[in-house]
Amino acid sequence: MRLQLAKKMKINEAKAYVAEKLNVTLEELCDVVTMSEVREDLGLGLAHVEPCAEANAGMEAKFKIAKLLGIQINSVEKFKERAGI
């Protein structure tokens, strides 16, 4: 959805873009097990873990997602602004 809004892509175009950036196929992109492994390997946070668990990288994950996909995420930009980064 972020790509649909940020880069004005259609859903299939956005999925293809993300799959390419993550170096996975479209089928793997839709597979929960595969994507959990990919997210863990890339440090992109995991949606199915407790909020305070070490595997949930929170803001760090958002920074990595923004960089990996080449998009701006409002919370990341605000964090950078307030932290003077």
Report helix, strand or coil for 22.
helix
Half-sphere exposure of 31 (CA within 13 A, CB side): 10
Count how many domains the chain has.
1
- The reported pTM is 0.76
pLDDT of residue 57: 65
Which structure tokens are listed for 58? 């929170």
Block mean pLDDT (10 aa), the chain, length 85: 83 93 94 90 74 66 90 91 90
pLDDT of residue 18: 93
Domain with 26 in it: 2-83
